[in-house]
Chains A and B, each alone.
Chain A
Amino acid sequence: MTARESFPRLLLAEWTKLRSVSRWAITLIGAAVLTIGLSYLAASGNKWDPRAQAEFVTGPLGKPVADNFYYVHQQITGDTTLTVRVASLTPAQNRRAVQMGSDQMTKVDDPSPFAQPAAGIMIKDGTTPGSSYASVMLTAAQGVRMQWDFDADRKGSASTGTRWLRLVRSGPTITGYESADGAQWQKIATATPKNLPSTVAVGFYVSSPSAFYTTRGGGSSSLGEHPTRADATFDNVLGSGATWHGDAVGKVVPTGKGGAPEGQFTEANGTFTVKGTGKVGPKQPDDDMVEAALIGVIAGLMALIAVGVLYATSEYHRGMIRTTFAATPRRGRVLAAKAIVLGTTSFLVGLVGAVGSFVLAIPILRKQGFTTPAFPRPSLMDGSVLRALLLTAAFMAGVTVVGLAIGVLLRHSAAAITITIVLVLGPLIVGMILPGTSPKWLMYTTLAGGMATQRAKPPTITLAEPWAMIGPWAGIGVVAAWAIVTLGLAWWQLRRRDA
């Protein structure tokens, strides 16, 4: 028999072993049932505060956005061109915010170009929050940008000082330009906003996103928001010559005593001084509906770990391993076959569990306050949802294979199960208690990091759950590294030791 023929046979043999032990087959089915069942039951324990919904509006693409800024505008019908020189942009210092950045609170850094204090010009479908727009702006730290519809962002020059900006509307398209002197113009990009009626608001604006501070640890987290303000001066305003109106667009964050005002503008000799606050861009709550729908994974995972470990150790209890090795003397191949069979099976069990949880829990979560505008309905076909579900199944499969490898290494069910479970759960419990961002390193080094696969949203440090601090690919990478290293050690030990 050639080697090529025998490996599929080996896979078949290992599959038969896994399938025919009724206790394991029941546990495997039970793992999927546990996952779905716990997710379904726990979904009604999740609630999203409806008061927080007021901070979100739905953008033209159906996603939750922030649309708060101070807008000096006029109405223009048809094709138009607006040119403005931004003479200066000065983010106001916030003393209180500086104080908050002391020991206990961590400032949430947002590298997004939408999270910059900015002064620019904008063409927008009226002043209703969430309406379509295109803008070019000078940002405080990320140069000149062109953005539209809360989603698209194109980089212009890295200029920081004075800058000429221009928007040209031609039918459904808007083109943005910038210039150092008002004579030599460079094109940045051409935008086609989703809804652009013939009459639009045209003008210049100032925005300055709030600073966020977070404390976490001891099992909970809190987020503090401090409004900031930016001051800008505009001159050489070349538009239609009609009267300018100033409006604070959108719901401005309550400022409290001594906070930033909503914004204002003054004009003197063609120079406009504008104070503004707020953010124009995507705004997602950090809570993740997909993650909330997958609570049951942790329960299903426990059952899978038990099967994974026993799949290795039971061969030793019963002396079966000697028969196995007599039939296939190349031990590495046996280990590979076991890992492939177990990994595939547990991936499928995990996938059934994850998809089932998602399908059953999402409708309940929508009744519990996870609704628009903050939470658009997630669909199984969304890239991020699909990624979360597939990676969650891969996480479950990876941990199960680690259980198998540790089982081979230790040949002792109790020790192997305990170690694998503690590697997943221990860092979660400890990471929940540890303050600040310190649990990040636990997540990068232990199997607990794999929990990050359950999130469909980007990593954040503002939540109590420590796994939210790392990205899903980092999470699955950690699990894959553990699987490879433990399988390698198991292979080395298998060759070295007597069975």
Chain B
Amino acid sequence: MTAPRPLRAVRAEWTKLRTLPSTGWLMLLAIAGTVGLGFAITGSLKYTHCDSPCTLDLTKLSLAGVRLGQVGIVVLAVLAVTAEYRTRTIQPTLVAVPRRFLVVLGKLGVLAVFGVATGVLAVAGSLTAGRTMLPGNGFTAAHGFPALSLADDLTRRAAIGTVIYVGLVTLLGAGLGLVLRDTAGALTAALALLYGSPVVAMFVSDPKWQHRIHRFSPMDAGLTIQSTRNLAAEHIGPWSGLGVLSLYATAAVIAGLIMFQLRDAH
């Protein structure tokens, strides 16, 4: 073996994840879910049905599918960690690479790469779908809606931000998996964390509390970066929103790392 040890650990994780049949399916689900919902939304918008002045945020609407598509990548991340416990693969893994830190970092690094790759494909697909559908529905440059383009600073920020978002929820899922070591628990916790708070915000009628919930819930805050219009109406700034999400992800990953170091693997 010529490769240095850390690289070997990463390569082992890469092989494990790559060769699971579910990985490909879940990535496909994430991408298809994102692009599909984006397609359905942009396809159903009509310029003639829009208030005048029409202030629709087309970039945000085109990328909204990630709210659904992220489920695929979260499941992938949780399974990548917890399946090793269920199938007891974790023991040979730790025998092969006794330095636990390397194992986790390798796993998280590989997962992040899968997450970002999924994000890039999903965002590219969604923007292409928006670019194809919207002009046909009356959203033309003549009406003040130039075609979605990465040359536009805000659209580029939204696209890059959404890719980072997907990467971060992947790490969040993996971190929760490390803490709970149980597929059911980790998955329920991750989905409840992401989807629970917007639903609670619907129940709450006090605008002050709605504002707080939107500010500090990982999905709403993280996806603020998709806004390209009327940014003042958002509950949190675009990058600070991603910051909130990365705090959640970091907290989950650090807690996972500590528990992985301290606990027996069985």
Contact = CB atoms under 8 A, between A and B. Distances in A.
Contacts of B116: none
A299 B192 contact: yes
Given A42-B204, A46-B206, A298 B184 contact: no
A410 to B, nearest CB: 12
Interface residue tally of chain A, by bracket? 35 or more
Contact of A302 (B37, B49, B196): B196
A425 B188 contact: no
B153 interface: no
A302 B205 contact: no
Interface residues of B, number: 37
B191 A465 contact: no
A32 interface: no
A426 B184 contact: no
B187 interface: yes
Contacts of B49: 103-104
A478 B192 CA distance: 22
B109 interface: no
B71 interface: yes
A287 B203 CA distance: 10
A140 interface: no
Nearest to B206: A47
A429 B199 contact: yes
| Most A C-beta atoms less than 10 A away, residue of B64, B75, B188, B204 | B188
Nearest to A317: B86
Given A417-B187, A418-B71, A38 B200 contact: yes
B204 A46 contact: yes
A104 B51 contact: yes
A433 interface: yes
A433 B40 CA distance: 13
Interface string B41-76: 100000011010000000000001001100100010
Interface in B159-207: 183-185, 187-188, 191-192, 195-196, 198-206
Interface in A62-83: none
B184 A421 contact: no
A295 B204 contact: yes
B108 interface: no
B122 interface: no
A168 interface: no
Contact of A428 (B78, B202, B213): B202
Interface in A462-488: 464-465
Given A302-B188, A418-B71, A425 B203 contact: no
A308 to B, nearest CB: 10
Contacts of B86: 317
Nearest to B214: A219
A421 B202 contact: no
B205 A292 contact: yes
Contact of A418 (B37, B75, B82): B75
Contact of A432 (B68, B71, B183, B202): B202
B79 interface: yes
Interface string A399-443: 000000000000001110110011001101110110000000000
B83 to A, nearest CB: 8
Interface of B: 37, 41, 48-49, 51, 64, 67-68, 71, 75, 78-79, 82, 86, 183-185, 187-188, 191-192, 195-196, 198-206, 208-210, 212-213
